[in-house]
Amino acid sequence: MWNIITLDGYFEGEKNWDLPFHEIIWGPELELLSIEQLESADYLVFGRVTFEGMAAYWKEAEGKIATLMNSIPKVVCSRTLESADWNNSTLIHENVVAELTRLKSEGDKDMYVFGSGNLSETLIREDLFDEYRIGIAPVLLGSGKRLFPELTSTKKLSLVSSQQLTNGGVVLKYKPIDTLV
């Protein structure tokens, strides 16, 4: 999982794509991290809303990140989307967990879920994430959509690394711990 959230836990404001805090945390360090992540990816995984927003932006963008975003195979998990017209995109309507598990086992590199709050919640419940990468923007948003809204069980994590950014943001990497102690 890769997501940027506010210090108070929101990954999005009140509306879809209400992300002004991304500008606060974005800079050369996060750009480098983004390139490293993309170069290590077999697949990018999205829910419908995130896919539509990302496709609208990246299909027209230029630069190294845009080249990577447009060339890496993408998996779109949606019950309602009828087509996925962004380059190298595959649509999954059913059995999302089984399909992602299959793709994960066949790949040699990483799979990244970007944004996609509803999909992420499902994948957290199914213990599908090997790592949580969270960028924290130094802002209190006060309201919006939380990244971790309603978990049904405790998920204990172990800190792998932390990176302070010069703009005041932090990138945290966690791995799940299988059992609670």
What's the rounded Cα separation, in Å, for the pair 118 and 77?
10
- Torsional class of 102: left (φ above 0), alpha (ψ -120 to 50), beta (otherwise): alpha
Cα-Cα-Cα-Cα dihedral sign, residues 6, 10, 13, 19? positive
Mean pLDDT of 77-96: 93
Residue 169: other Cβ atoms inside 10 A: 22
Q: What is the largest CA-CA distance in the chain?
A: 49
Give the global pTM.
0.90
Q: Give me the helix-helix angle, 96-106 and 117-125, nearest 10°.
A: 80
pLDDT(152) > 80: no
Residue type, 42: D
Domains by residue range for the chain, with CATH: 2-176 (3.40.430.10)
Split at pLDDT 50, 70, 90, the class of 155 is confident
Structure tokens at 56: 């609208």
Name the β-bridge partners of 158.
Answer: 175
3-class DSSP state of 171: strand
pLDDT at 118: 86
pLDDT in tens, 92-140: 999 999 999 999 999 899 999 988 888 998 898 888 999 999 999 999 9
Percent of the chain surpassing pLDDT 70:
98
Structure tokens at 126: 């199914």
DSSP string spanning 48-80?
A: HHHHHHHHHHHTT--SHHHHHHHHS-EEEE-SS
Split at pLDDT 50, 70, 90, the class of 181 is very low
CA distances from 165 to 24, 43, 45 (A): 11, 26, 26
pLDDT at 179: 47
What's the rounded Cα separation, in Å, for the pair 172 and 181?
22
